Structure 1
């Protein structure tokens, strides 16, 4: 029996929060599961971020949500994982891919990929502590070069995670290089758990390319979902051979209004500047594909009234909103290389 393609929202610091989850529900465009922004795991006990915890405790979507941890010391990762499992949490996700220099310097996130020994210890501790179905991993291919994955994947496989998501770039490559689907294909062929592909999925064509090139069990989408929040409903429809609606600028305006309301709800004590600053964090992605003047003026808005007037003046019309972002930007780079790649072949002699 053919399994439906899993769709997930990629965790992104400061933007894939409860307000965005609620907005996706408002727009009736939900992935199959969520992962929270990362909780920092540190040696001295620290209260887990109340802001992030709200995504778990107040999750309105009826879709599973996994709490994400970034850290490297096994005993403290286990401590925080067990704390998360006391909440309405589907499981725990270990972040082994974040490329932020501050995170990597602490040997966490993508920094874990530099030490197979440390990675092995963290994976083993979490696997022992968590019940079946509750342990997932998100990683990159390596720190410096993609072929490091040949040594990384056997370490992951040895601890039998319940799902593995692979961002098919290295830490050094960040977000601005082509992706390397052949390594995801290899992982999908040899791991016993579902493998989810991440990186450069911006529209239906790139999603189709990932399915063709790597045969993953699912796809994880981040930046493109902030730009086009209907991408989950569009891809669910596409994989079921159903028609999809094409959004207009007016639909984008509706999205912004809902997001504006949901972010407002998150503030216990309203600060207008803080509210508008958060909206700009979301809309820097949405602006790709809108008139250049929108991005320019949006970044300079200082009040909520000016911000919404700008959106209404420029977007309250039926101009079609392109489902594919422009590629000549630092936010969406090299995704068209997916469309021209041949099916990746497993490199000879590589086994797990």
Structure 2
């Protein structure tokens, strides 16, 4: 077994950054929006569901085949059927992917109850078989794993890290919570640091990296090769650029709220809009505004009113009220109210 070289980073002198895969969020459109404000080194797709009857989801595939961000994209799979994971991995390798990524961390009950995602952490023997087969199938592309510390505790943690070493995994993205923790509670960066020392591959630290300063702290605490940022990048798409500024000891200028208002417009603009019911369009935008609102208004009024809005007109009037009232006001660089998100 051997490890494959990872795609080239944006800046070889700096730690890596990656946008975490988030279902219903990290589609092609969102990757392009993030790229406008400052690319990460790596993107990861939403997960391709893998089972006996699965085929590659065309919308997720578009985030690979139509991606013009200039950054490598890892194709993420979720499933537990070994023949079908192998079949899907081989098919994905016919596309221009940075590598194949196996999801072993999804905390959704409907996923882990099927022994997929985070459920795999309960069965190290199966993880061993899956990674053995995938390593053979993905022999000329990077094979990466995204996982958590364990299911309810970290009892199987080091056993699975040993399996990762056995099969020469090329990159490990590690969320410092258990599956049952979901997105709540303290992130155990100390265990991420132990993983960094234990495995033979680079490790991306993941979990509640809400600002450039926090990214710097996590890199120092863990010794990881880089950081993976998830939902905090929704609230602050400038975060990857800000992390690079912090790493170079440059001052970070927080974006004015007027720029946040432009960002919301970018999120909303889509060629499919005329064919989507207004209620669905409003609901889609609220998905993102949930992660933006508290960095704009720490009192929660923006969040409350935004969630109550029923129409596009009403929603954008609320956005204008909070984002355009004071041109000098800027987006918070760190959360004013603690929100434990990935």
TM-score, with structure 2 as normaliser: 0.91
Q: Alignment partner for residue 272 of structure 1, among 270, 278, 296?
A: 278
2:45 to 16, 22, 36: 36
Report Cα offsets for 1:288-333 as digits up to 9, x if no partner.
222322112211222223222221222013212111113444x449
C-alpha contact 2:231 2:291 (8 A) present in aligned 1: yes
Q: Could you tell me how far apart the structure 2 residues matched to 1:116 and 1:85 are?
A: 26
Out of 69, 93, 118, which is 2:101 matched to? 93
| Contact kept in structure 2, 1:39 and 1:69, CA below 8 Å | yes
Residues 1:178 and 1:327: Cα distance change in structure 2 (over 3 Å):
farther
Aligned partner of 2:235 in structure 1 is: 227
Q: Offset at 1:266?
A: 4.7
**8 Å contact kept, 1:11–1:37:** yes
How far does residue 219 in structure 1 lie from its aligned partner after superposition?
0.2
2:221 is aligned with 1:195: no
Q: 2:91 matched to which residue of 1?
A: 83
Residues in 2 aligned to 1:138 and 1:145: alpha-carbon distance in whole angstroms: 17
For residue 241 of structure 1, report the CA deviation from its aligned partner.
2.1
152-161 or 181-190: bigger deviation: 181-190
Alignment gaps of 5+ in structure 1: 334-352
Of 138, 159, 162, 1:154 maps to: 162
Pairing of 1:179-218 with structure 2 (within 5 A): 179-218=187-226
- Report deviation, 1:106: 0.5
SS at match of 1:265: coil
Residue 110 of structure 1: how far off its partner (Å): 0.3
Residues of 2 paired with 1:257 and 1:305: CA distance?
Answer: 13
The answer to whether 1:11 aligns with 2:21 is yes
The equivalent residue for 1:346 is: none
CA deviations over 1:100-156 (Å, ceiling 9, x no partner): 000000000000000011111111111110134421110111111124312221011
Question: What aligned pairs does 1:52-91 form with structure 2 within 5 A after superposition?
Answer: 52-91=60-99
CA distance in 1, matches of 2:315, 2:303: 11
Deviation of 1:244 (Å) = 2.3
Instruction: Give the CA deviation at 1:12.
Output: 0.8
- Given that 1:19 and 1:266 are in contact with CA atoms closer than 8 Å, whether structure 2 keeps it comes out as no
Shift of residue 191, structure 1, vs aligned partner: 2.1
* Alignment match, 1:143: 151
3-state DSSP of counterpart to 2:271:
helix
In structure 2, how many angstroms separate the alpha carbons of the residues matched to 1:127 and 1:96?
16
* Equivalent position SS for 1:98: coil
3-state DSSP of counterpart to 2:32 = helix
Match for residue 129 of structure 2? 121
Q: Is the 8 A contact 2:100 2:141 kept in 1?
A: no
CA RMSD of aligned residues (A): 1.7
Pick closer, same or farther for the CA change 1:268–1:132 going to 2, 3 Å. Answer: farther
Mapped to 2, the partners of 1:300 and 1:138 lie a distance apart of 35
Other structure's SS at 1:75 match = helix
Give ranges in structure 2 of 5+ residues lacking alignment.
1-11
> How many residue pairs are counted as aligned between the two chains?
327
Using the TM superposition, give the Cα deviation of residue 243 of structure 1 relative to its aligned residue in structure 2, in angstroms.
2.6
What's the counterpart of residue 284 of structure 1?
Answer: 290
The Cα shift of 1:33 comes to 0.5
For residue 253 of structure 1, report the CA deviation from its aligned partner. 0.7
